[in-house]
Amino acid sequence: MIGWIRELGARTTAGVEALGRIVVFGALIVRAIFLRPSRIRFVLAAIFDSGVLSLALICASGATVGFVLGLQLYNTLSRFGAEESLGTAVGLSLIRELGPVLTGLLVTGRAGSATTAEIGSMKATEQLDGLRMMAIDPIHFVVMPRAVALSIAMPLLSAIFVLFGIFGAYLIGVEMLGLDSGSYVSSLENSVEFRDDVLQSLVKSVVFGMLLGLIATWRGYSCEPHAKGVSRATTSTVVTASVCILLADYTLTALWGV
């Protein structure tokens, strides 16, 4: 019994210590944003890696989700004679919920894991130590640009996902199932509020991007410096960030009615 309590205490202490280290790491990233020289070129390169290279995945996934939503919601709404509301249902579900969350999960798998693997392999091959020995802060040079890039890319990708989703549902509802095009667009236009829906959706995706940026860079930066350590850290990024995004989604929805 005593051993069990001791073990529980040790694990709790280790958990709190790890959380403290992540918070300090996050603070160092924020500090690095304001350090000179600015790393705008590196941030843009990282946005290209995590954002532009994820575009095809996001567009294809957004359109596919739109197809499914168009089919499912049209059939459900037509049972109540409310198929004219397809635009409203598709728009609100994509903008408020599915867009930010699915984009968060997709970007986690595509760019978050790549970020962890890249930083982790730099650690394993002593590139981060090499930077330190040149008196260059690896958090300023390597970590901050990638974390900031994920935070910037996420809302942009989420917006693109939503647009492709709405277009996909349009193709199914209007072009395939014969719904009036004007009804679809006007119901969408009338029901979606910029401040309550679009802006809040962007806030959600910015939070998801920041969470992913912090988790992906932290896991890479703190991984054990060998191949297995990098592999473990990459898996851990996908699992931890996915769970955190879902928890944050619930929390934001519950607290602010996003």
The letter for the amino acid at 172 is I
User: Using CA of residue 51, residue 55, residue 58, residue 63, what is the dihedral sign?
Assistant: positive
Shortest Å distance, C-beta 122 to other proteins: 8
The letter for the amino acid at 239 is V
CA dihedral 181, 182, 183, 189 (to 10 degrees): 110
Give yes or no for residue 129 binding other proteins (CB under 8 A).
yes
Burial class (CB in 10 A: 0-12, 13-18, 19+), 224: middle
**Site track for other proteins across 10-39, x = CB under 8 A:** ---------------------------x--
Number of residues that bind other proteins (CB under 8 A): 14
Q: Which stretch binds other proteins (CB under 8 A): 62-70, 120-128, 168-176, 239-247?
A: 120-128
Shortest Å distance, C-beta 39 to other proteins: 11
Give yes or no for residue 125 binding other proteins (CB under 8 A).
yes
Which residue, 42 or 167, is less far from other proteins as judged by CB? 42
Distance CA 66, CA 165 (A): 4
Which residue, 136 or 227, is less far from other proteins as judged by CB? 136
Site for other proteins in 136-155 (CB under 8 A): 136-137
Token pair of 85 as six digits: 């509301």
Token pair of 22 as six digits: 């992540």
Q: Give the number of other Cβ atoms within 10 Å of residue 28's Cβ.
A: 15
**Site track for other proteins across 158-177, x = CB under 8 A:** --------------------
Distance CA 195, CA 190 (A): 13
Binds other proteins (CB under 8 A): choice among 10, 38, 48, 126: 126
Positions that interact with other proteins (CB under 8 A): 37, 122, 125-127, 129-137
